Amino acid sequence: MDGMITEDGRLNPEFGGEREALYTGLNGCTVERVRISPGESYVFKPLAKGGNSREAWAYEHVRPSLPGLFPRLIARSADGISGQGWLLFEDLGPLSHRFNEGTAAALIGQIARWHALPTASFGIRSRQGPKPTIGEMAEALRQNEEEWVPYLEEFRWPKASMRSLIAEALELERSESVVFSHGDLHLGNYAMTAGGIRVLDWEHAHLNSRHWDLFHVLDLSHPLFPKTMNPGMRDRLLERYLDAAEAFGPPSDRTRFRREYYVFSSVFSLWLLLLIERDLRREDGVWPADKLEEQRLETLENLRQCLASFIILSYVKKS
């Protein structure tokens, strides 16, 4: 591998080998597969200028507690370099990012493991992920009520009830303890391999609610990675999480946990709908309009389902 990467942090065009662009991140950096010879290939990930070192931190501090879950980190740029930072990973080969319940269940069992890690021993304090916190989303909805009321009219959901959920989300952020979070578990960031579930792209690792990672797996929509969720599957996967979490700590109040999840998911989905609408109005948007329309429909359906589940759970609790 000597000579593969230049001193300024780029793939050396004179090194040889076959290069394949895998994706370009929102930071404008393109991740590439580099085939050196049959049976020898790597994934090269350049970092944005001023480079996000959180992924390298996760490999150093978190990976030892989660053996087999991370792709191996082969090499990385030195800290404090003047050029562009980079990471070089093992190549897991072609990965399928199609959603299915079995893969989601395997992933959720691992989520329970990293949620149980003692965050104090890592020294991580950041609660900043790739999106605002659920409290910040709730506050934005509270201040921009006229933007989301039309969505609720489609479901015949009372405006006062949504105000109540927004208030609960604000209280949830103030009162809930935080856990170590991957931060960006959309469907493109995990896959089932011959060696089991693998989780990619830990650059947004931070502290957050337990519901953050779960929402990303169950109800976050993405323009490039569509999925279909239904109430039965969602409840089974939430139960899977609670079963797995009990292996690492005391039992949870399952009814309360599920109720809080539906509050979290409803507020996050409603906030996401407004973001999608803004993206649709932009002429220079990152995502194709047809993909955003599909994302909008998926998000609406997830919101409808979670509001309905919240009603059912509230009725059962009162009974």
What one-character-per-residue DSSP string does 193-223 give? ETTEEEE---TT-EEE-HHHHHHHHHT---T
For the cut 90, the answer to whether the pLDDT of residue 151 exceeds it is no
- Range 134-160 average pLDDT: 91
Which pLDDT tens digit goes with each residue over 40-71?
999 999 987 655 578 888 999 999 999 999 99
Cα separation, 274 vs 288, in Å, equals 17
**What is the pTM assigned to this prediction?**
0.93
Which token pair is 161? 């009830």
For the cut 60, the answer to whether the pLDDT of residue 246 exceeds it is yes
Question: What whole-number percentage of the chain has pLDDT above 90?
Answer: 69
Cα separation, 169 vs 286, in Å, equals 29
- Range 227-239 average pLDDT: 97
- Range 109-116 average pLDDT: 96
* Domains defined for the chain, CATH in brackets: 18-90 (3.30.200.20), 101-318 (3.90.1200.10)
> ∠ CA(29), CA(34), CA(36), 5° rounding?
160
pLDDT classification of 25: cutoffs 50, 70, 90? confident
Residue 1: the pLDDT is 65
Residue 79: the pLDDT is 76
Q: Give, in order, the Cα–Cα distances in Å from 99 to each of 89, 157, 188.
A: 24, 29, 10
Cα separation, 221 vs 287, in Å, equals 13
pLDDT classification of 81: cutoffs 50, 70, 90? low
Residue 123: the pLDDT is 75
β-bridge mates for residue 208, sequence order: 179
Cα separation, 88 vs 34, in Å, equals 10
β-bridge mates for residue 30, sequence order: 24
